[in-house]
Structure 1
Amino acid sequence: RRESAYDELETALVEAIIESEARISRFHEMQKPRDLWLEEVEPGVILGEKTTPLDRIGAYVPGGRAAYLSTALMCAVPARVAGVRSICCCTPPPVHPATLVALDIAGVDEIYSVGGAQAIAAMALGTGSIAAVDKIVGPGNVYVTQAKMLLRGEVEIDFPAGPSEIGILADGSGDPAYIAADILAQAEHDPDAACLLVTTDAGLAEKTGKALENMVIEAKRKDIISRSIGNTGYILADTLEEGAEIMNLVAPEHLSIQVHDPLDIIRMIRHAGSIFIGRYSPVACGDYASGTNHVLPTAGNSKTHSGLDVRHFCKSSTIQIISREGLESVGEVAERIACAEGLHAHADSVRIRRRKTS
């Protein structure tokens, strides 16, 4: 169906997907680590690192409430840039033609029309038709996320990526309409989406609430928003410093900073999946067009996890090249520590070489 899927889309949409893929590729090429580096750190001792892509990965692209063609790009393009040999994708039926086109443009090798926890199990364990993968990436609902966590002993995963979130840190310079629009954009994802405004200006919070009420009335996905809006709220902070610390505690998937002097605030932020600075940086641009990745840790997991990037699809091996001269430099230290640990054969493996060089 890949080829026929193109015929089902408007040319303008296909062109937009191609442009989005190019931007995502450009950014992720910038992240790509060197294949190999070596450096002589002291005479006779050369250290380095070799980076190798994974052999086979599986991407999970959600379906159901929307056609997440952008997620297809976000999961597959970094893997392709990293040099992964085989990329497969599972996505729930019926597969939207836009998702098929995006997967094709992204360079996915295999596409399977299967969704939910069973798709995660299939990629993790393998079936008669789906070969097991080394790593599974991509967001999903609570069942998909839990399946990834449960199967982590069988397959590596990226991180827990559940329902969407946004945290917005704003002062009196924020635009209530822009902030309300950003909240609505996340609220339409899923009934479990969560949105939080932290501001030092009570008037801004009130104006944002009124703008949000008016926008909900006209929203096209009102059925979802009317449920997720119950997960939306605001906190009044005494200072922006306090607001930044609140955001560090929340560790949101998306953090929008809409303040007069954002660069001072960005230095205070320690935990956030992706950061959007300024009133003209809507999260939607990161979702579709800027090139950064929108597959991000949720539920506070940005405290310990980074968003999806090229490095998720690579592994590294350290390298050491030691000459006779170098062995004399590091050998005695190795022998002494090995003996202190009671690992005498370790010490002997160094000592036998040092004796032969003397």
Structure 2
Amino acid sequence: MPTIARLDTQQPDFDQALERLLSWESVADTGVRDAVDEILGAVRSEGDTAVLRYTAKFDRLDRAAVSDLEIPHDRLQAALESIPAEQRKALEMASARIRRYAEHQLMRDWDFTDEDGTVLGQRVTALDSVGLYVPGGKAAYPSSVLMNAIPAKVAGVELLVMVVPAPGGELNDLVLAAAAVAGVDRVFTVGGAQAVAALAYGTQTIPAVDKIVGPGNIFVAAAKREVFGTVGIDMIAGPSEILVVCDGETDPDWIAADLFSQAEHDEQAQSILLSWDDAFLDRVAEAMDRLLEEMPRAEIIRTSLDKRGALVKVRDSAEAVAVANRIAPEHLELSVADPQAMLDAGLRHAGAIFMGRYTSEALGDYCAGPNHVLPTSRTARFSSPLGVYDFQKRSSIIHCSAEGAAKLGETAAALAHGEGLTAHARSAELRSR
């Protein structure tokens, strides 16, 4: 039976209690950072040799060359053809929905002509290459492959390199099938910080990329943080989170299952329920007690709820909106009669918002269409879900006419002289005469 916290916004210490609940220390201790720095340095200086050494050490996969760690396309296709028909249909349906949603996110070129004939605009281009990290071994995360790879391909990325650890040579056919469906270009059975280093710096066999995306363990997260600047990264993700707002009219079993859906990820995941119906909070607590033992990952769920879960009584829906904005959750379920009204009442901060009683967060994880790579740890206050725009970049376009150069040159020169940058001023003035 989980001992989930009960909070009430009317408690004198509510603000402090909420802050304690939300606090989470990110990424890595000194030991992890030191180990990661050593691996990054070795791969940067030794290339393939270091990748092979660390792959043999950590994944028990001893190969003569890094080329032996690459999975050929026909193996990906064979995996797609060998999985059960139901799984293949699910992969293809999810892929189509993710792709259709992503196509709406494409940024496009635009320009306008100023009154003096100067053309100003924006040029949008795709990144040349992207690396995708996928957890491997016994774990199967085909949804992660689809959610990261498909937006990249919709954006127009030409080279998408996937790395996936294969401890002891163990590969998951569902993950490989997802790579085939998503159009991944190259796949290497390399994991850990050494995979991140190979993608960031390049080796004799693994190409360097422009950006690295995808989830991983604490060593992968620390490595991504360290290589940022050499390459782009998607984000440093924290534990999974769900915040459910309910008016007390949804089946308590549904809400209990929704809270479990994130708690089962790991012991640090966070599940919070807000309601202005105190009796409903009791019914959900009873449902969790009753349903928990049915869960194969009951111990993980119990620990997560004990450590970081909460049932929170708020005064009304308006206060629920205010508290939700403070929490800025990764996933926000509005399990209420009129979710649109609540959204319009000022909800601003959430990675993804699930509207209405029938929209479970799990649908977003797999097949609804929007991306499941979302900001965590309150970063939804200033960041957004992964999307096509993360694989595109913008260049400003300025094309001056003679009249425009003369007009703008006077302004630019005046400001440049004010900053003491004479050459800047002269460059503008020469075209103003």
TM-score by length of 2: 0.78
State the partner residue of 2:235.
Answer: 159
State the partner residue of 2:90.
Answer: 16
The answer to whether 1:311 aligns with 2:382 is no
Residue 64 of structure 1: how far off its partner (Å): 5.1
The answer to whether 1:282 aligns with 2:365 is no
Q: Distance between the aligned counterparts of 2:411 and 2:107, measured in 1?
A: 32
Please show how residues 1-358 of structure 1 align to structure 2 within 5 Å: 1-34=75-108, 36-63=109-136, 66-93=139-166, 94-230=170-306, 231-267=308-344, 268-355=346-433
The answer to whether the 8 Å contact 2:338/2:356 transfers is no
What SS does the aligned partner of 1:204 have?
helix
What SS does the aligned partner of 2:178 have?
helix
Residue 24 of structure 1: how far off its partner (Å): 0.6
Comparing 270-279 and 72-81, the one that deviates more: 270-279
Q: Distance between the aligned counterparts of 2:114 and 2:251, measured in 1?
A: 53
The answer to whether the 8 Å contact 1:41/1:47 transfers is yes
Q: Distance between the aligned counterparts of 1:70 and 1:55, measured in 2?
A: 23
User: Which digits, 9 at most, give the CA deviation of each residue in 1:133-172, with x for residues without a partner?
Assistant: 1111112233322221122133211111232111112223
Unaligned runs of 5+ in 1: none
Residue 190 of structure 1: how far off its partner (Å): 2.0
What SS does the aligned partner of 1:305 have?
coil
User: Which digits, 9 at most, give the CA deviation of each residue in 1:234-265, with x for residues without a partner?
Assistant: 21112222222222222211111112332232
Residue 99 of structure 1: how far off its partner (Å): 0.5
Which amino acid is the alignment partner of residue 207 of structure 1? R
Unaligned runs of 5+ in 2: 1-74
Residue 308 of structure 1: how far off its partner (Å): 0.5
Q: Distance between the aligned counterparts of 1:62 and 1:147, measured in 2?
A: 14
Q: Distance between the aligned counterparts of 1:168 and 1:63, measured in 2?
A: 31
Identical-residue share of aligned pairs (%): 44
Which amino acid is the alignment partner of residue 23 of structure 1? R
User: Which digits, 9 at most, give the CA deviation of each residue in 1:270-317, with x for residues without a partner?
Assistant: 221111111111111111111100011212222222110001111110
- CA RMSD of the aligned region, Å? 1.7
Q: Distance between the aligned counterparts of 1:8 and 1:233, measured in 2?
A: 43
Which amino acid is the alignment partner of residue 85 of structure 1? E
Q: Distance between the aligned counterparts of 2:369 and 2:258, measured in 1?
A: 19
Q: Distance between the aligned counterparts of 1:166 and 1:175, measured in 2?
A: 17
Q: Distance between the aligned counterparts of 1:276 and 1:338, measured in 2?
A: 51
TM-score by length of 1: 0.93
User: Which digits, 9 at most, give the CA deviation of each residue in 1:29-48, with x for residues without a partner?
Assistant: 000011x2211132312110
Q: Distance between the aligned counterparts of 1:109 and 1:130, measured in 2?
A: 12
The answer to whether the 8 Å contact 2:270/2:309 transfers is yes
Q: Distance between the aligned counterparts of 1:116 and 1:313, measured in 2?
A: 23
Q: Aligned pairs, how many?
A: 354
